[in-house]
Structure 1
């Protein structure tokens, strides 16, 4: 396994320690060479804050990266919290939903493609979050399923709140203490939810990852993983992973299911930290191997 990387934005484009969120999709169901990032059906969106805390977008459409239209709306975030984006196909157009806090700290949804209109609009409003709150949303259905089922996690009242959308938004559940997480004090960008997507029947395998605060004295924190049951809306007891993140580290979790029979689930985490020795950018496979990325 090997990785390459490219510089997307010049220095100064984003604020220092900006939260980030990215989504990627295909306009059809690809296979074989269609999985290539160079496929004409490939789309990607990167979301971040500029130095003035304005929500910004960088978009990839089959061949090139270019600035998206989001920044032109001059939507200013509080700047102390996470951001999260999801995507799905609905009303015959590509849809994106972006979640961030307003300057007053209210969790706010912004929508691209709502009701089939290809422009940004304000969506639903939720609770006011504590400063430094992590935010992570995931679509638990496949991209082409026109009835998306969204699940979101965030920090509220020193607890992990969760909310879901299945034609309408549920009430917020916040029964799990935000114990040992950077999101209670600063950082705020440390939640990441991943789901093995299920369209018909069953309960998707949803896992939430977060970084512990590491105690005192600048110690490295522990990364935790907890399973979430979409039906009962219960977050299981967290398990600590044998991985230590660095201060200001982000955690990104992704999952996928092999379309061939027998179906095989894969769950991966990417983070900056260490397993032993100097800090590095690490690709951590929940089913076995750890790969240090050559960055």
Structure 2
């Protein structure tokens, strides 16, 4: 195999986003996740000879831990990298850091970083497969995959499903990955947000919160007040009253409908305390489903 062919194969094993990933590839990841969810052994030695790294240049708890559990269940050795305790704090570039780790013989890297566009540049310049664990407000592919997996487990099919994403669409990489991927499977994606939180780069229609309650899936997003210089809401309580998933609003959902959230949850802001674990909520199911999804993604990168 030529060097060019090897580099092409490496790029195919990377997962930078879902916007440009085919429906068939997404389907194969979802199907493989089901295999790993049903796998008898909690830990196996499939990739005992592999070493992977989790490179988080933005803070994370759930995503990083979920990836590490997935990697260890596949038998891989794991190196966790935190920017706050590294040479990045001394001025080293993200590129130099990634290249340094790659030069140590690592087989794949999971990466979260803030600058939009940098991940694609890194993927072109490094030789190990890279998996996007969230890049700025661009994409968060594994979150969308586990969201789709959760929906598929509940409804059986994504085609024709009415999904409304509520909250800070403008700054949400979760909304973008779900938007790009769900439409490939025939789902109807709509948004619900105040004017200050609407995005202009996606053509899904915006609806009211009352209309959103008639959806099959209502996905609440974390309100990122820190990203807005000016807000139409002066307090979190005002946002809850206008867009929060309260117990009253849950009572208006269709019996088969489910409530989702990528977490972390701002309780009593976008979702009330007594709604987080109500019968129609699937928030902790989403977290559980993240492990088999990320096992499938890591297997794809390391195969």
TM-score for the superposition, normalised by structure 1: 0.30
Which gives a bigger RCO, structure 1 or 2 (Cα 8 Å, sep 6+)?
A: 2
TM-score for the superposition, normalised by structure 2: 0.29
Structure with greater helix percent: 2
Larger Rg: 2
